[in-house]
């Protein structure tokens, strides 16, 4: 604690001394410039500390609210040209906005009736060789090996990503959880290979014929909430959509991402990019809505008031967990049972509803 207070003091001093110089931020909280300090590093990044609707958050299945009006989200399957860059903090794909070239419209979903335009894709991960998981969002406090985030801007209202980023209803983020599997999803495999040519900060490579929609799992189910960017300036302009099913990567392929480094050149002591995720932020009463309806509480009360009695909403992101027994350690739930509800049969759903 004392150490942090001293650092805070130094930060304030630095800001007054080197006015206008941007101090490099990092995801590593042990370092000056880590997530706890983002809000102090730069005037435009205040929200990182002051904001109360920040991301990422934990998705607690028992808090989900079923919303039958949430439409499926449509992400066009176009093939685009993009540049893949090591920013020193994250590997980021930016879709090129070229005249006469396709872009990717995203429509439907919780941000209807606005239309969004896919702008960038970032990959978050931990040190796989040390068993560290690196997804930003967690489900029932379970963190996953990695998370891919597709960030789009509201093209119905704003001319580009940078203007939308700081404007109301500006951004839409579609999050894809990545879990360990026997094979790597084809488009993720391509990114994994390409990441080997951007080992150092500032390096980039062109991706021709890149198909972002191939990174999506086959599901129309999602959870949505209002939050922020998970990197500075943490603007609270983001509608998040967390898709319900993961895509897969092999353990070997996941380890390739660990080679990415923060430095511009090879150092005697490598400075790895991991951890590459922001710590969880508090939900502070925000709604977690979902279009997954796996059971509503049918009771005498609800027949006289049929509107929205989804108190016992039976979302089973984690069917292995008994609702009555929260003491069951969540860590021991088989991985395949977390974040999969496709295989729940309708008769099981009614059982869930009757707990």
- Where along the sequence are the contacts to ligand NAG (CB under 6 A)? 76, 78, 102-103, 105, 115, 159-160, 162-163, 206, 325, 327-328
Contact 134, 125 (CB under 8 A): yes
Please say which residue, 97 or 252, places its beta carbon nearer to ligand NAG.
97
Q: Give all strands (DSSP E) within the chain, no chain letters.
A: 58-59, 64-66, 73-75, 80-86, 91-95, 105-108, 116-125, 138-139, 146-154, 171-180, 204-210, 222-227, 238-243, 247-249, 288-290
Please say which residue, 115 or 189, places its beta carbon nearer to ligand NAG.
115
* Smallest distance from ligand NAG to CB 105, Å: 4
Please say which residue, 160 or 183, places its beta carbon nearer to ligand NAG.
160
* Smallest distance from ligand NAG to CB 327, Å: 5
DSSP conformational letter for 212:
G
Please say which residue, 112 or 328, places its beta carbon nearer to ligand NAG.
328
Confirm whether 332 is a catalytic residue: no
DSSP conformational letter for 261:
B
Contact 153, 235 (CB under 8 A): no
User: Which one from 116, 153, 158, 315 is the annotated catalytic residue?
Assistant: 158
* Smallest distance from ligand NAG to CB 309, Å: 26
Tokens of 97: 């906005």
d(CA 107, CA 74): 5
DSSP conformational letter for 88:
S
Ramachandran region of residue 108, left (φ > 0), alpha (ψ -120 to 50) or beta? Answer: left
Please say which residue, 164 or 338, places its beta carbon nearer to ligand NAG.
164
Neighbours of 279 (CB within 10 A): 13
Contact 53, 284 (CB under 8 A): yes
* Measured CA angle at 150 (ends 144, 152), to 5 deg: 150
Please say which residue, 94 or 184, places its beta carbon nearer to ligand NAG.
94
* Smallest distance from ligand NAG to CB 111, Å: 14
Contact 253, 183 (CB under 8 A): no
d(CA 152, CA 121): 9
* Smallest distance from ligand NAG to CB 117, Å: 7
* Smallest distance from ligand NAG to CB 84, Å: 10
For the annotated catalytic residues, the residue numbers are 158
């Amino acid at each position: 604690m004392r150490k942090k207070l001293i650092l805070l003091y130094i930060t304030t001093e630095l800001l007054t001394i080197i006015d206008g110089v941007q101090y490099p931020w990092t995801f590593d909280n042990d370092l000056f410039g880590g997530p706890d300090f983002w809000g102090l590093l730069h005037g435009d990044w205040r929200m990182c500390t002051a904001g109360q609707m920040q991301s990422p958050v934990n998705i607690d299945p028992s808090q989900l609210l079923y919303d039958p009006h949430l439409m499926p989200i449509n992400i066009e399957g176009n093939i685009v040209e993009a540049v893949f860059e090591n920013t020193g903090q994250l590997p980021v794909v930016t879709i090129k906005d070229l005249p006469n070239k396709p872009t990717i419209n995203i429509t439907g979903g919780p941000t209807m009736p606005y239309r969004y335009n896919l702008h960038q894709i970032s990959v978050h991960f931990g040190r796989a060789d040390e068993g560290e998981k690196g997804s930003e969002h967690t489900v029932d406090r379970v963190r996953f090996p990695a998370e891919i985030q597709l960030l789009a801007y509201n093209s119905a209202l704003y001319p580009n990503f940078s203007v939308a980023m700081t404007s109301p209803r500006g951004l839409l983020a579609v999050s894809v959880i990545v879990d360990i599997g026997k094979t790597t999803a084809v488009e993720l495999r391509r990114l994994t290979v390409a990441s080997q040519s951007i080992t150092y900060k500032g390096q980039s490579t062109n991706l021709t014929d890149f198909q972002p929609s191939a990174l999506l799992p086959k599901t129309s189910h999602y959870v949505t909430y209002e939050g922020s960017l998970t990197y500075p300036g943490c603007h609270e302009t983001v509608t998040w959509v967390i898709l319900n099913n993961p895509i897969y990567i092999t353990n070997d392929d996941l380890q390739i991402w660990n080679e990415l480094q923060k430095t511009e050149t090879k150092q005697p002591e490598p400075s790895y990019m991991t951890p590459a995720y922001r710590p969880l932020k508090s939900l502070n009463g925000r709604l977690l809505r979902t279009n997954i309806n796996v059971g509503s509480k049918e009771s005498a009360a609800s027949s006289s008031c049929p509107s929205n009695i989804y108190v016992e909403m039976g979302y089973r992101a984690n069917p292995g967990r008994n609702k009555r027994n929260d003491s069951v350690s969540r860590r021991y739930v088989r991985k395949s049972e977390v974040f999969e509800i496709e295989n729940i049969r309708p008769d099981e759903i009614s059982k869930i509803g009757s707990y």
